[in-house]
Structure 1
């Protein structure tokens, strides 16, 4: 009996190791032909090798892609302008065959949709349309079929950067982790809008009770991430190449600290993604343009944040993601057509580039799948 028990423990150990050896991702891309699209990849944590399981073809510029919690439905924006805007499209996923089947596609009524979020109850989709400066709300049924829009909200205003802020540009749409609030960043009018939502409401959002936080003109808020408590928010200011650390409480944001991500201040920058480590002690931000770097920031004992490392990436690091257990970081280099892999020290937060690179056409977003 003792030998059988030991054998059982050995098998359990190997099974647990094998289950964490690989992690799957969806990779959003920009496309130039029908043979390109959303890549479904496996990443081997031990060897740093990436392999492609499948490609979802016949989808135009799926630059932002997400899934439901069960990973049975995949949702992607199709980023382009037209008379009826871009599109948001859903796909059914069969885990056994690893096949994707298109469910349906609807117009977003806003040009160049660049962000999509799923409500906590997974009954609504909210799409941010960058060029039109508006956002659209759609219902979604339990099978992943997207219904006709129930709400289209147009942002107004502009700001001081004549090249980039002639009108509103909704850039991200994020549900608060603990409160019934939606956060919209608008690069064009320098605001972070806080909108209550009600999942029992047929239009989801309660715009009449919205609040707006105005940044210093010209900063261009782009992407945000919350800590686990939802009390602190981290913002990339695209146009000034900065990260802002803000406290959130009672529908109010208080900017506590702003950190420059590059050596030289700028008024026309290209800061992009921001991610927080699982332990909440390290912050990562990417900067494109002339810099093409990933910046590491560490939380100090007194609560402030400090830049501790800058590492070079490929060209235009649009997006990146931390893998399971925060052991690695994958970086999507849009103009290098590549994914770079960095080892991450879980104690110091510091990054070391590995020798492995993976070729892929214009990768711009990762979703853990």
Structure 2
């Protein structure tokens, strides 16, 4: 009887563990059309592939990009808007026991249309990139989630060859290096990727006089970035030419190793968007909007021998997407289809296959996922 009881207890624990691991929760950034819309909180069941809407944090305008602190107690979102003093960055507290959000405060970003946001490693600063403003602002944030006014703003200068899209700087992405005290910033307007060191103990977080700027091919339009876990590779989407670029990163320098076309027809006014890396770092995924509306799968090999192995249709305007915790699914946010859809992912081959229409959720203009 004792052995049986122990076995039953162990079986129950295993069942609970498996059940918990099947659920992925995400914050979904959106564009809004009324006050009832905002940040969506969704659950994704890895076994059934069903997506369910849990909550909407409303009365926030265009919360396109949203993040949390490590403890998941503070949520920060940009409000992708414009004014005489820029868009906004807004913070919320989250109580997991009651599953409730409470707005803390907002600050103006000092640049129009903020479209990227990140916590510093020690979570004492929030960094915001302003697309139309062409600048980068740093906001001190305290342990309760209260944002102070920006104490540092770096304004970039320059333009590039595409007169319609690159008439001035357009900051589009901020990522932290996994081991070094540096950030990488993609500037679509200047055709530049800037590596900026930081000092978390200094009054000003970013060390502006030590920026190292790497120019990419004219007219490329770098949009989104991701480092590998070692930090010696950087992957970027080139929005305007519908390409993915692979860079070597060493000694504070970026060296372009290879570019791969994401579409069959070359273009100078493309719409490549997000880039993601599988956990085993063998496969890279990129989304393309516009006329193509697809996800592209890249087998990385050693980088120099990377190749496209699949293109698969999505909904209209696939902006952001995310790979599930078990690496067996990809959720895609289709902005103009107002939908989130799911693809099955083969972990060994990296290839994708569509799931049933039951694995679809209607959300107004979803554009970003963040694990919650």
Preserved CA contact (<8 Å) 1:53 1:98: no
Measure the CA separation in 1 of the matches of 2:54 and 2:152.
Answer: 36
Q: Give the stretch that moved more between structures: 303-312 or 265-274.
A: 303-312
Q: Note closer, same or farther for the CA distance 1:194–1:46 as it changes in structure 2 (3 Å cut).
A: same
Measure the CA separation in 2 of the matches of 1:248 and 1:8.
Answer: 50
Say which of 361, 365, 369 aligns to 1:366. 369
User: What's the secondary structure of 2:240's corresponding residue?
Assistant: helix
Moved over 3 A (4+): none
Listed one character per residue, the Cα deviations across residues 234-285 of structure 1 (whole Å, up to 9, x for unaligned) are: 0000000000000000110011010000001100100000000000000000
Q: CA deviation at 1:163?
A: 0.8
Preserved CA contact (<8 Å) 2:330 2:342: yes
Q: How does 1:233-312 map to 2 (within 5 A)?
A: 233-300=234-301, 304-312=305-313
The answer to whether 1:61 aligns with 2:67 is no
Measure the CA separation in 2 of the matches of 1:136 and 1:302.
Answer: 33
Measure the CA separation in 2 of the matches of 1:171 and 1:122.
Answer: 21
Preserved CA contact (<8 Å) 1:139 1:150: yes
Measure the CA separation in 1 of the matches of 2:32 and 2:107.
Answer: 19
Partner of 1:331: 332
Partner of 2:80: 79
Q: How does 1:166-181 map to 2 (within 5 A)?
A: 166-181=167-182
Preserved CA contact (<8 Å) 2:224 2:236: yes
Partner of 1:112: 113
Partner of 1:223: 224
Preserved CA contact (<8 Å) 1:156 1:167: yes
Preserved CA contact (<8 Å) 1:342 1:351: yes
Preserved CA contact (<8 Å) 2:225 2:236: yes
CA RMSD in angstroms comes to: 0.9
Measure the CA separation in 2 of the matches of 1:300 and 1:119.
Answer: 32
Measure the CA separation in 2 of the matches of 1:3 and 1:65.
Answer: 48
Listed one character per residue, the Cα deviations across residues 105-144 of structure 1 (whole Å, up to 9, x for unaligned) are: 0000100000001000000011000001001000000111
Measure the CA separation in 2 of the matches of 1:202 and 1:23.
Answer: 38
Partner of 2:103: 102
Partner of 2:354: 353
Measure the CA separation in 1 of the matches of 2:65 and 2:55.
Answer: 17
Measure the CA separation in 2 of the matches of 1:228 and 1:303.
Answer: 18
User: What's the secondary structure of 2:146's corresponding residue?
Assistant: coil
Listed one character per residue, the Cα deviations across residues 201-224 of structure 1 (whole Å, up to 9, x for unaligned) are: 122000111100001110000000
User: What's the secondary structure of 2:21's corresponding residue?
Assistant: helix
Partner of 2:143: 142
Unaligned runs of 5+ in 1: none
Preserved CA contact (<8 Å) 1:294 1:311: yes
Measure the CA separation in 1 of the matches of 2:41 and 2:97.
Answer: 14
User: What's the secondary structure of 1:326's corresponding residue?
Assistant: coil
User: What's the secondary structure of 2:298's corresponding residue?
Assistant: strand
The answer to whether 1:197 aligns with 2:186 is no
Unaligned runs of 5+ in 2: none
Q: CA deviation at 1:301?
A: 5.8
Preserved CA contact (<8 Å) 2:25 2:42: yes
User: What's the secondary structure of 1:240's corresponding residue?
Assistant: coil
TM-score, with structure 1 as normaliser: 0.99
Listed one character per residue, the Cα deviations across residues 3-26 of structure 1 (whole Å, up to 9, x for unaligned) are: 122112211210111111211000
Partner of 1:29: 30
TM-score, with structure 2 as normaliser: 0.98
Q: CA deviation at 1:317?
A: 0.2
The answer to whether 1:45 aligns with 2:15 is no
